[in-house]
Amino acid sequence: MKRDDDLRRKLLAGLAASAAGALAGCTRAMAAKSAEPAPSRRRRKWGMVIDLDRCARCAGCVVACQQENNIPPLGAQAAARTRPIHWMDFLPPASGSFTATPIPCMHCEDPPCVKVCPVGATYQNPEGITAQVWERCIGCRYCIVACPYSRRYFNWSEPRWPGDDPSSLNPDVAPRPRGVVEKCTLCHHRIHAVLEHARLDEELLTDEALRRLPACAESCPTQAITFGDLADPDSEVARLAASPRAVRLLPEAGTRPKVIYLRETK
Amino acid sequence: MSYARRSLRTVLLIAVVILFVGMVGARRAPATSPRQPLPMSHKRHLDKQMKCRACHQGVEGEAMASFPTLADCMDCHKTPQGQEPAEPEVRVFAARGQELSWVLLNRLPGHVYFSHAAHVTLGRVKCEACHRDMSKVDQAPIEADVHLDMSACVACHRDGNASLDCLACHK
């Protein structure tokens, strides 16, 4: 009981202090914001462009994504037996003219998966990422059925690491437990890190710092993957998205993907 | 002595033994909790008007607030400071060249991202908002003092106009 009282007192004191701090911070932030150039005032809209004319189909992005996001390796035998998880994958040969196309989550502007989630475990964050909160997911898999791109995966088993040694895991990404659905986060943890460092260093986040930010884009030897803010017309990703070569997967689904492909029409 | 009485006595004896073992175990429990390498008093340091960041240097620029290294301690304790009988112990570590192995007590759940820099430097949150008042702690801490749940985090984020996006804290 005493501990509860102590905690409550501390919390109240803390809240008062942080509210005062936030008030001071707001005035400072407003002053700082008015000095910033126009693009940073706009709400960001993260997106990605994948240039299929540049892509060498090396699958480096697939491996980099597995490594970055703590996706357990299965090995060939187990992968054939069960359902392997690939946040970044290649479309199978039956995909018509999009055969062997690297495909992450499309981060749709109108995501069908979000509409069907009964517990609010998946949602679109203010910057356009279709996010999944693993702890909230009840594993009903409605979202897997709803996604027209099959970009969602269910964890049928507890994640296992080679030699049962989790020490090589990326500490910035939580491993998902058995019984939840998981998906690409556009390497949100990396976005989080550069945003925080830019704010701490009081620097503006440049487009150059973002272009190769996700693990897949960073690993791409032909620089076929470009990441950035689609709402910033001066960004590389917005410029590429406006290219006449730009195509979207399944436009008829009405999902308006924020992952855009580039390729010459044949 | 009847059989029933004997078995009753046996049962009672076993019960007393179990009770005794339990009590001894309970008394011993604090001794098995983590031991800090030095009987360091936060109170004495804060009484000297030292700031938290003087020893926990990562608190303003990093996600984790760091522990002081032996070199940090020796910045002040190269020469004796105060009359505390345990004070010379830090120089024993230095003479042996043995780094201080502080025990980390506050651990985050694996799915939570928390940055001290974001809270302390960008959000201007005081240390006492989450930690106890260390100016009253005269012993080396042996148990966690942050007992926040998500509702406490959310309440503070709401009041401070900070992000309420799940991805701001969940990883």
Segment B20-67, tens digit of pLDDT: 666 655 554 444 456 899 989 999 999 999 999 999 999 999 999 999
Residue B32: predicted pLDDT: 47
Min Cα separation A69/chain B (Å): 10
CB contact under 8 A, B159 and A185: no
Is residue A90 over pLDDT 70? Answer: yes
Architecture of the domain whose range is A42-262: 2-Layer Sandwich (3.30)
> For all residues of chain A together, what is the average pLDDT?
86
pLDDT tens string A153-200? 999 888 888 888 888 899 999 999 999 999 999 999 999 999 999 999
Cβ of B126 under 8 Å from any chain A Cβ? yes
CA-wise closest residue to A51 among A191, A193, A217, A207: A217
pLDDT tens string A226-237? 999 999 999 999
Residue A32: predicted pLDDT: 42
Using 50, 70 and 90 to split pLDDT, how confident is the model at B85?
A: confident
Pairing of strands A46-51, A259-262: parallel
Residue B26: predicted pLDDT: 55
Using 50, 70 and 90 to split pLDDT, how confident is the model at A266?
A: low
- B45: CB partners within 8 A, 6+ apart: B55
Residue B1: predicted pLDDT: 52
- Tokens 């693009």, located at residue: A39
Q: What's the complex ipTM?
A: 0.77
Residue A250: predicted pLDDT: 94
Q: ∠B60-B61-B65 over CA atoms, to 5°?
A: 65
Using 50, 70 and 90 to split pLDDT, how confident is the model at A35?
A: very low
CA-wise closest residue to A184 among A134, A130, A116: A130
Residue A15: predicted pLDDT: 43
Q: Where are the domains of chain A?
A: 2-35, 42-262
Mean pLDDT of A18-26: 44
Mean pLDDT of A214-240: 97
Residue B31: predicted pLDDT: 44
Mean pLDDT of B121-141: 92
Residue A29: exposure state from Cβ atoms within 10 A (0-12, 13-18, ≥19): middle
Residue B3: predicted pLDDT: 67
Residue A24: predicted pLDDT: 45
Residue A25: predicted pLDDT: 44
Amino acid residing at B149: D
Q: Name every chain B residue with its beta carbon within 8 A of the beta carbon of A175.
A: 110
pLDDT over 70, % of chain B: 88
> For all residues of chain B together, what is the average pLDDT?
86
Mean pLDDT of A204-222: 95
| Cα nearest neighbour of B114 on chain A | A172
Indicate the residue of B121, B147, B171 with minimum beta-carbon distance to A174: B171
Min Cα separation B150/chain A (Å): 12
